[in-house]
Structure 1
Amino acid sequence: MTTPTHAHGHGHSHGHGIAPVSGRSLVTRLRSLMPLLGEHRRLIVVAYLAGVLHQLLLLTSSGIGAYVVARAAGGASLDQLTGWLIALGCLIVPLVVMSVADSTSAHVAAFRALADTRAKVFAAFERLSPGYMLERRSGDLGSAAVSDVEQIELFFAHTLSPLAVASTVPVATTVALCWFDWRLACVLVPVLLLLASVPAWLRRQAELHGHELRDSLGRMSADSTDTFQGLRELVNFGAHAQRLGLLRGQGARLAKAKSGHGRRGGIEYVATDTIALLGILAVLVLGARLVIAGDLDRSLFPVAVVLAAMAMLPVLKVTEVARELSMVASSADRITTLLDTPAPVSDLVSRAPAGPVVPHVRFDDVTFSYRGDQRPAVREVGFEIRPGETVALVGRSGAGKSTCANLLLRFWDVTAGSVSVGGHDVRDFPQEDLRRLMTLVPQDTFLFNTSLRDNIRLGRADASDDEVEAAARAAQAHEFIAALPEGYDTVAGELGALMSGGQRQRIAIARALLKDAPILVMDEAVSNLDAASEQAVGQAMEEARHGRTTLVIAHRLSTIRTADRIVVIVDGHVAETGTHEELLAAGGAYVELLASQLEGFVERAS
């Protein structure tokens, strides 16, 4: 059984970021990205081979060019240089072809890997919902899905192949210099090793800066998303200045992280350029001495200097990319943490129980604790909902009502006891099959920024326009939709901002009716509505509940009274069960609950 994850309002969040600072080495963290290449590794191999050939051809053409210049300066005739010039011309086409093959293969592999990774990230979001999502901010998750995935393009397209080239080409150059004079190679090799070691000098700072920068970007994205979505409330309460101060603070934190990252990159840039220049100078001085001593042909002297400079180019390219690899490693941490996080629940079977499933819901001694909480959210809860019956779960806030609904939907697995449908434990169903049996109408309905028709069609993607309209009529939504200028083609606005609370709830009920699942879960569907909206939604709820096994979580007496039975939850356990009249006559927890609600209503009214 998997360990449950926190629900909203339980336990503690893990913070804003998806992954903490890693104690692993940079190479290990980057290596974790390799499985994401999948079948596209062959393209990276092609890029590597093309890159090596391109660099070798570049070395050869540069060497020939330097040799031609040296011979011409020494008085060689055109006839003496013609063969070399023809050879140089013949290298142009292969140079261009290998350059294009290198760049194209690496980028195609990177972009395909990014597309696959993005699909895996969204699949992980679906797999981990809702527990993982409730712990983290949507803006930060959006950053992981977009900017973090884009960041790893640097590794796939600009690191793997150049790194392989940088470890191959200098070897060939060193061998060539040994052929000229072994002392030239002895001068060059330490310079190349020193050049390659520069990124390791400030590795700790690079990792810290990379994490701070990615974390700051995630926080900035999350706070910006919150600000845009809550702009109406900020203006309404005059809190925009306070919010602007928060964003400025986050902006300052981001700027500080970027400054630290830039300063470190600048130090590495100066160090690599200085070492490269000193290396070329060393080869130049030694070569000049060898020429003067007669140990090196004058025409080979420019070739040796050019080859030494060309040997450093692949290493310089890798060190330049390495300045940004700390950012890539932080993105890799966030992505791999997300992909490797175990789901709150997982399928234990591959197929649903045979035969038709009777929509009979039963809770048998159910106990459940959120991860990290010592006290169970619900304990030894037992009740049933017979086919076609409506049962209302009532209780104070935090009593465990929504937890029961989430356990029925199998957003989490019980700690002890069982939840069953049609006599089968919900864990005996694949999640997809279980979801088909149930529909949830939540307290806060999410509408996508698309047409109302498409928002209703979320209940069944293949539904016709007539079926969408029939569901809307049954949900008491057709009249207000038809009165809109564009009718069912009206765009709901971001987060459904253009719709009232009652309208959003009726669209949610229309979705449920369109899906036509035998079990309906309604979570506080009218709790935030005014009297007129409550009446309209109440009529829609009556239609939705007709002929369905329904679990209603409710506070409003108007909703509670229409239930066939009422289950009163107190501190996570069932205090009493019965009809409205039976519970009133008993004078127990139900009466106390109604009295407290009435007292609160009187206080608000006064």
Structure 2
Amino acid sequence: MSGVKIMKRLAKEIKPVSGYMGLCITGGILGQLTILGTLVAGVGIICSYAGIDMFLSTGKWVVALFICALLRGPSRYLEQYFGHHVAYKLLAIMRVNLYDNLRKLSPAKMLDKKNGDVVSTAISDIECIEIFFAHTVAPIVIAVVISCLSLILCAAIWPMIALVMLPFYLVIGVVIPIFSARVGRDTGRDYRLWLGDLKSYLIDSLKGIKEIIAFGKGTERLGNIDKKGGEINQVLHKLIRHRNFVMAMPDLGRTLSRVVIMAICSYGMMIGEVGIGGSAVLMVVLAASFTPVIAISGLSGSLLQTFAAAERVFALEDEKPQVIDPVNPKKGVTNSGEISFSNIGFTYPTRSNVVINGFNMTAKKGDKIAFIGESGSGKSTALRLLLRYWDPDEGEILVGGTNIKDVSLKDCRNNFAMLSQDTWLMNDTIEENIKIGNPYATHEEVVEAAKRACIHDFIENLTDGYQSHAGEMGSRLSGGERQRIGIARVCLRNTPIMILDEPTSSLDTLNEKSILKTLYTEFKDRTIITVSHRASTVAGCDRVYRLDAK
């Protein structure tokens, strides 16, 4: 994506807060005019005392000076307040939009992405875009307006100066920023990529810190982190050199413009085209008017990272999900536990081997079904197809007699309560983790679900009971405890179909027997599909389907 396209797309994001951006620009223009007004008033006062006619009396110039000085503070506040209000509001909107698309991409399109890289995009990259919203859009408009007004003033006093100064504005405000953006764009992109890779590596290292220590890999991981940090520093040094160059060139241009202003004003006085007062006004106004233009050139170095960050964000936002809602979805069937797999064939998009081939299965409401088979035979894949994480390459899956591809994803998944192999717990209270199954459940309902999962007594013995925190990724709990909380979560979700993927893999025989008895007796009106390698887990099922590895 080119820099122009990125800028246009970022500019479109401003539409919801365009009014606030207008106030920011108004404050910025007013602020720059107060600076110019203060300088002109100062020239007017000095020239008046020197006996040079400056159109106004000394007293009026003094009044103008104080008015401009007093307006400088409020106008600056107006610009900064609304500029950052716009930026942080838009960043919040972009985070929500990005998360919404990540939710649609999951899990199919997220399997091959690095978690740390995605986190870096969702947090660091979006934060980096703040520079564009708060420090780029308004300054560009302000620079254009102030430059045009300065040139109009020059033309009114002596048109020759306007013609001479115009190239300086164009070179400093347009040519240098465009040139620097094109030269340094790849460096900015490389820096964001390397930074995302480092964050991903750090997250992996933290998640696997116990295994790293146990297998003595700490020194190796530390060395790799040091190596990645060195590679990032090399790219960062390129960015710094580029930024220094970008800052030096506009300063050189501004210095040359001042020399030219003084030379041409002197020439104008020699030939009688402009007086001493007019020359003084031209010199101070033109010198000060380059300040917002210089700011634009200086931003071009920072915008390298901003555009690279925006490109990464837009790439995630634009990525199409593996499955999409139908254009005209049918009304999903509710409270129906009937399921049918008809001649299902499936291969993962990133693999060459067929995972499922010609699989058939039927289940009526209340049936207890089991999928068994070797690892990699497609048991969990069949569940993912039922949840429509992917669509089968061949055949169709019906729930309640309706093809799940013909209903919305929301209606489709509202039929299921899912317990995955690895129960994921949020860094929240145990009660809130259980209530993921039903956010509107009462405390009594949560307790009842915990009892069914044989975890109630354990929770009650914790210091804060159900208000105890599970820790990040459930780190304060054992694998069996996390799994039982996951089972409680499934019990709390009132759906016609329960999907259990290795539901008792982390449980002892006693707890397994008790939980399965509860599930099969108290939820006898629900269809339950269980995947397990344990014969004891599937012993109570009505039918068992074997899937063979291809």
- Is TM > 0.5 for Structure 1 vs Structure 2? yes
SS in 2 for 1:33: helix
The question of 1:451 aligning with 2:441 is answered no
Structure 1 residue 87, shift from structure 2 partner: 2.0
3-state SS of 2:360 partner: strand
Q: Take 1:538 and 1:214, find their aligned partners in 2: how far apart are those partners?
A: 51
Aligned to 2:463: 485
Equivalent pair of 2:129/2:306 in contact (CA under 8 Å): yes
2:518 equivalent in structure 1: 543
Equivalence for 1:533: 508
Alignment counterpart, residue 410 of structure 1, candidates 383, 388, 399 = 388
More deviation, 506-515/105-114? 105-114
**Alignment partner of 2:95 out of 118, 123, 142:** 118
CA contact (8 A) 1:46 1:105 kept: yes
The 3-state SS of whatever aligns with 2:223 is helix
- The structure 1 residue matched to 2:499, chosen from 490, 508, 521, is 521
Aligned to 1:131: 108
Instruction: Tell me if 1:552 matches 2:530.
Output: yes
Q: 8 Å contact 2:332–2:407 — kept in the other structure?
A: no
- Give the alignment of 1:38-49 within 5 angstroms: 38-49=15-26
The reply on whether 1:103 has 2:103 as its aligned counterpart is no
Q: Residue 118 of structure 2: which of 128, 141, 165 is its match?
A: 141
Alignment partner, residue 328 of structure 1:
306
Summarize the Cα distance change of 1:201–1:146 in structure 2 as closer, same or farther, 3 Å threshold: same
Task: Specify the code of the residue in structure 2 equivalent to 1:542.
Answer: K
Q: 2:292 aligns with which of 307, 310, 314?
A: 314
Q: CA deviation at 1:504?
A: 0.8
Q: For residues 122 and 334 of structure 2, what CA distance do their matches in structure 1 show?
A: 39
Q: Which SS does the other structure have where 1:199 is aligned?
A: helix
Which residue does 1:51 correspond to in 2?
A: 28
Indicate the RMSD between aligned Cα atoms, in angstroms: 2.2
1:220 aligns with 2:198: yes
Tell me which of 276, 285, 289 is aligned to 2:263.
285
Q: Give 1:237 deviation, angstroms.
A: 1.7
Alpha-carbon spacing, 1:349–1:187, altered in 2? closer, same or farther (3 Å) = closer
Change (3 A) 1:354 1:246: closer
- 1:189-210 deviation line (CA, Å, top 9, x unaligned): 1221221211223333321111
1:591 is matched with: none
More displaced stretch, 206-215 vs 376-385? 376-385
1:84 aligns with 2:84: no
- Structure 1 residue 186, shift from structure 2 partner: 2.8
SS of residue in 1 equivalent to 2:411? helix
Query: Comparing 343-352 with 193-202, which one deviates more in the overlay?
Result: 343-352
C-alpha displacement of 1:73: 5.2
Q: Work out whether 1:182 is the aligned partner of 2:159.
A: yes
Secondary structure of the residue that 1:47 maps to in structure 2? helix
Cα gap change, 1:356/1:456 in structure 2, threshold over 3 Å: closer, same or farther? closer
Between stretches 544-553 and 311-320, larger displacement belongs to 544-553
Hey, what's the Cα distance between the residues in 2 that align with 1:456 and 1:399?
A: 31
Distance 1:538 1:259, change over 3 A: farther
- Identity of counterpart residues, as a percentage? 27
Moved more, 472-481 or 27-36: 27-36
Residue in structure 2 matching 1:305, options 283, 296, 301: 283
SS of the residue corresponding to residue 124 of structure 1 reads helix
1:52 CA displacement: 2.7
1:420 pairs with 395, 398, 404, which one? 398
Instruction: Report the AA paired with residue 187 of structure 1.
Output: V
> Taking structure 1 as reference, are residues 355 and 438 closer, same or farther at Cα in structure 2, changes over 3 Å only?
closer
Shift of 1:349: 6.2
Residue 88 of structure 1 aligns to which amino acid in structure 2? L
In structure 2, relative to structure 1, the CA distance for the partners of 1:417 and 1:510 (3 Å cut) is: same
Alpha carbons of structure 1 residues 88 and 140: separation in structure 2 relative to 1, 3 Å: same
Q: Which amino acid aligns with 1:269?
A: M
For residue 312 of structure 1, report the CA deviation from its aligned partner. 1.0
- What do residues 307-348 of structure 1 show as CA deviations (whole Å, max 9, x unaligned)? 111221111111112211121111211221222222222222
Pairs within 5 Å for 1:159-178: 159-178=136-155
Superposed CA deviations along residues 501-550 of structure 1, whole A, max 9, x for unmatched, are 111111100000011322111112333x3xx6354134323323441211
**Partner of residue 438, structure 2:** 460
Quick check: 1:400 aligned with 2:378? yes
In the alignment, what sits opposite 1:575? none
Q: Hey, what does 1:586 align to over in structure 2?
A: none
Q: Aligned AA for 1:109?
A: V
Match of 1:360 among 332, 338, 353: 338
Using the alignment, how far apart are the partners of 1:211 and 1:39 within structure 2? 28
Greater shift in the superposed pair: 239-248 or 175-184: 175-184
Partners of 2:110 and 2:97 lie apart in 1 by 16
Gaps of 5+ in 1: 1-23, 573-606
Is structure 2 residue 362 aligned with structure 1 residue 384? Answer: yes
C-alpha distance after superposition, 1:369-425 (max 9, x if no partner): 322444432222111122222222122222211111001011112222111111111
The answer to whether the 8 Å contact 1:505/1:537 transfers is no
Per the alignment, in what secondary structure is the counterpart of residue 461 of structure 1?
coil
